[in-house]
Amino acid sequence: MTERGWGRRAPVAVGAGAALYLFTTASQVVPALPWLRADIMVSLACGLTLTALFVDGLLPLRGLGNRLLYVFAAALPAALLFSYLGWAPAANLAKVFLAVALGLWLVLQIPDVRIIVLIALIVPVVDAFSVFSSLGPTHTLLATQPQAINYFAVLFTWFGYSYREAYSAIGTSDLIFFSLYLGATLAFRLRPRLTLALMTVSFALTVALALWNLSALPALPLLSVGFLLGNADILWRRWRTPRP
């Protein structure tokens, strides 16, 4: 990505990252809404929007090529350390950097848009197995070590509560695929803006359904639907007549 790309997106990345940090740090000073589920959803919408904008602002990192792995290698221990210390605001930022770096690097390894389509069709099944099956790693983690979620997820605090009291969570692995799909829209000339919006909404819908069912739900099925839905006609044409 050129400097011009950073020139357009750097203010978005800095502004959204700073806002996400402040949102996670100071959520308790915002009055809670009287209905808890409404409070959760409004808080989540704010946190997801800031996270999506932060990811979008970091897309010029794809210009680093294979050096993205250095970013990942730096962000991973930072995310683990901040999670261990219970410093969720900083851990969130490190996890977003980690997810963006790995997601964009994975895009660079994919030569054909049809592979992205196959990924979007397969990973929802794998994610659903992980969450719902008693043999799945996510199911096992939630059942035996629920406190470990702090290490594997970005935490979105609720209005009226601190990040140590109450939060919703989106898995860092989900953000990796969020970044992968968004990076693919640039690499294969799809629809980045529409895809960004649909995938952000998909996260909110997953959490809303989880609240309704009072149980954890996999995020990748609706995330993949958002990606495929936003680019369906282009992907169909590319599948039938791939470009050389």
- Segment 35-72, tens digit of pLDDT: 888 899 999 999 999 999 999 999 999 999 999 999 99
User: Higher pLDDT residue, 5 or 13?
Assistant: 13
Q: Average pLDDT, whole number, for the chain? A: 90
In the predicted model, is pLDDT for residue 176 greater than 60? yes
- In the block, which residue shows the tokens 């919703």? 168
The DSSP secondary-structure symbol of 136 reads: S
Whether this model's pTM surpasses 0.75? yes
Query: Which secondary structure element, helix H or strand E, spans residue 25, and what is its range?
Result: helix 3-26
Who's near 103: CB < 8 A, 6+ residues apart? 175, 176, 177, 178, 179, 180, 181, 182, 183
In the predicted model, is pLDDT for residue 6 greater than 90? no
Structure confidence at residue 198 (pLDDT): 97
Residue-range definition of the domain harbouring residue 37: 3-240
The DSSP secondary-structure symbol of 155 reads: E
Average pLDDT of span 230-239: 93
- In the block, which residue shows the tokens 């219970």? 86
Number of domains in the chain: 1
Q: How confident is the model at residue 2 (pLDDT cuts 50, 70, 90)?
A: very low
Q: How far is CA 123 from CA 58, 118, 173, 218, 223, in A?
A: 24, 9, 11, 10, 10
Structure confidence at residue 135 (pLDDT): 81
Report helix, strand or coil for 243.
coil
Structure confidence at residue 200 (pLDDT): 96
Assigned token pair, 73: 């290698």
Give the model confidence (pLDDT) of 67-124 as tens digits: 999 999 999 999 999 999 999 999 999 999 999 999 999 999 999 999 999 999 999 9
In the predicted model, is pLDDT for residue 14 greater than 90? yes
